[in-house]
A and B are shown apart, each in its own frame.
Chain A
Amino acid sequence: MSEAFEELRDLYQEVILDHGRHPRNFRRLDGALHAKGENPMCGDKVEVWLKLGAGERIEDAAFQGRGCAISIASASLMTEVLRGKTRDQARSLADAFRTLARTGACPVCDAVHEEDIERLQPLAGVAEYPSRVKCATLAWHAMEAALKGEGSATTE
């Protein structure tokens, strides 16, 4: 039984369960950039808010939504790592994260995003589940839509 448990743990690491249960920055932001994201395959929905401050850096990031532990944990972790990023940095981190989620690794990311990717590493296990990759990337699509001034994004 404990062995079986270990196998479950490698995908659902404590970080994911914790952020899934107690999402950080789970709130709305007034006067912020905003977009909705939806995964029509499974009905997961998130809304993302980004407040830009001095130098067009992300001063605050928040989200609300409903979905599986992976999509909620990913959104929650995203709001944490986005702080202080410029638009370009945020976009490039989104690319890096998508690679991580799709392939389980991001060898070229290390140089630029080493620290952030390490924070997001617990989500790399979804690469084994193509149908779940979109759960992990949903909030990131919404975040990019918010930066572009588009109101919504879908994973399709």
Chain B
Amino acid sequence: MNDAPPVTAAFDVQAIRAQFPILTETVRGRPLVFLDSAASAQKPRAVIEAMVHAMERQYANVHRGLHWMSERTTEAYEACRDAAARFLNAGSRDEIVLTRNSTEGINLVAHSYGRGVMRAGQAVLISEMEHHSNIVPWQMLRDAHGVELRVARVTEAGELDMDSVAAHLADGKVGLVAITHMSNVLGSYTPAERIVRLAHEAGARVLLDGSQAAVHRKVDVQALDADFYVFTGHKLYGPTGIGVLYGKAELLDRMPPFLGGGDMISTVSFERSEWARVPHKFEAGTPPILEGIGLKAAIEWVERIGFPAMEAHERALTDHALARLSAIEGVTVIGRAQDRGGVISFTLDRAHAHDVATLLDRQGIAVRAGHHCAEPLMRRFGLDSTARASFAAYTTRTEIDALAEALTRVRTFFA
């Protein structure tokens, strides 16, 4: 495996790296080895330039000015919606709600669908491997609206336990299944198509948290038949402050607004207001204009490389990393899902994850350590914390070798 050509011919990782200005930075006198892209990815020049261009050449508030600058800015911002619709293969651009991030998208659904459409006595089904942002909004819904919160199990291998999903769906009370499409801790994908099929058979709708998955794999919401799908721009090589919620038109239409304010109404008087049509109904206030323009550039950047090439590259890196890390005595990789992506959590015997991360940082290598906003999952595996290395289009095999060597040094510290 180590001798196999690491990437397909079409994929030139050095050419990709050259598009990321930050990758020429040094940390503690060494080239930056950035293995924390699952927390937030670095930005290619195309994204930076699109945002700078808007600020320097073409900027005004959107959807309201009748002047040239506002019209042009509105077009540039709204093009993000088209890009997102194409990216997810949504049936219509009106099914794309632009949010601040995944967290806001999930809260929007919990609020508007949860309180507006679900009834007390129904249940929401999540899983043990959710990010806090796909747990807490449902707890808030439970406490405010009398909805039950159920939790599907995760197997020892770190896969979603589909028997557990089926068992929770059996009594027909679950109105919404809200499950991650890829774990930000274990790297496991969940079988989204099967989840949707089972849920629909049981009369439940499905929200998929694509914060991680949408970065690494082509998502087709129509093929999945997902009812809601969220992702967040900053993990997809785009800026912070912009995210996407896809929702089926028939559902968005039935849902009451989330936040009230400008842009989300058609008429306002002191007696009553009428809501703007979907998706604007869910977009109150001045939107993240520059961020939307940046996200469009990010989506186009990803599309230019293409998921087949990116996936092949990341798969080769992940296989290599799993082999290298597992070969280090005392290192345990958490989870061994069949279908997994480039996010690897590990522990080192007799060493705390924070010490591991600090000692790796000392050697110029950025990894994340802690509970990764997934405390219940940590508890599920009897852990307080793990260190996590995660990969992106710009990650190289050499960087993974550097991680393995640095980790070997750390091990001797705590041996």
Question: Residues of A contacting B371 with CB < 8 Å?
Answer: 42-43
User: Known: A1-B409, A42-B370, A43-B371. Contact between A70 and B355, CB under 8 A?
Assistant: yes
Which of A2-10, A25-33, A47-55 lines the interface with chain B?
A: A2-10
Residue from the list B352, B354, B363, B375 in contact with A8, Cβ < 8 A: B363
Question: Residues of B contacting A135 with CB < 8 Å?
Answer: 354
User: Could you tell me the distance between the alpha carbons of A82 and B410 in the complex, rounded to whole angstroms?
Assistant: 32
**A7 (CB) vs chain B CBs: closest residue:** B362
Question: Residues of A contacting B28 with CB < 8 Å?
Answer: 7
Question: Residues of B contacting A69 with CB < 8 Å?
Answer: 351-352, 355, 414
**B378 (CB) vs chain A CBs: closest residue:** A43
User: Known: A8-B359, A132-B354. Contact between A42 and B385, CB under 8 A?
Assistant: yes
Within 8 A of B (CB), among A16-32: 17, 20-21
Question: Residues of B contacting A67 with CB < 8 Å?
Answer: 352
A108 CB to closest chain B CB (Å) equals: 28
User: Known: A12-B413, A43-B384, A43-B385. Contact between A132 and B352, CB under 8 A?
Assistant: no
Contacts between chains A and B (CB distance < 8 A), count = 51
Judged by a CB distance under 8 angstroms, whether A68 is at the interface is yes
**A10 (CB) vs chain B CBs: closest residue:** B362
User: Could you tell me the distance between the alpha carbons of A92 and B384 in the complex, rounded to whole angstroms?
Assistant: 32
B74 CB to closest chain A CB (Å) equals: 41
Docked-complex contact B355 and A8, CB < 8 angstroms: no
User: Could you tell me the distance between the alpha carbons of A68 and B361 in the complex, rounded to whole angstroms?
Assistant: 15
Residue from the list B353, B358, B370, B385 in contact with A11, Cβ < 8 A: B358
User: Could you tell me the distance between the alpha carbons of A1 and B409 in the complex, rounded to whole angstroms?
Assistant: 9
Docked-complex contact A12 and B355, CB < 8 angstroms: yes
Residue from the list B354, B363, B413 in contact with A68, Cβ < 8 A: B354
Mask for A114-141, Cβ within 8 A of B = 1, else 0?
0000000000000001001001000000
Question: Residues of B contacting A42 with CB < 8 Å?
Answer: 354, 370-371, 385
Residue from the list A4, A21, A43, A132 in contact with B358, Cβ < 8 A: A132
User: Could you tell me the distance between the alpha carbons of A43 and B385 in the complex, rounded to whole angstroms?
Assistant: 8
User: Could you tell me the distance between the alpha carbons of A27 and B361 in the complex, rounded to whole angstroms?
Assistant: 33
**B406 (CB) vs chain A CBs: closest residue:** A4
User: Could you tell me the distance between the alpha carbons of A84 and B148 in the complex, rounded to whole angstroms?
Assistant: 55
Question: Residues of A contacting B385 with CB < 8 Å?
Answer: 42-43
Within 8 A of B (CB), among A57-74: 66-70
User: Could you tell me the distance between the alpha carbons of A20 and B350 in the complex, rounded to whole angstroms?
Assistant: 10
Docked-complex contact B352 and A68, CB < 8 angstroms: yes
What are the 5 tightest A-B residue pairs by CB atom distance, in nearest-first order? A68-B352, A68-B354, A69-B355, A68-B355, A43-B384
- A sample of 8 more A-B contacts (CB under 8 A), given A11-B359, A12-B359, A70-B354, is A1-B409, A41-B370, A42-B385, A43-B370, A69-B351, A69-B414, A129-B358, A129-B361
Q: Return 8 A-B CB contacts under 8 Å, by A number.
A: A8-B362, A8-B363, A43-B371, A66-B384, A68-B354, A69-B355, A70-B355, A132-B354
Residues of A within 8 A of B (CB): 1, 4-5, 7-8, 11-12, 17, 20-21, 41-43, 66-70, 129, 132, 135
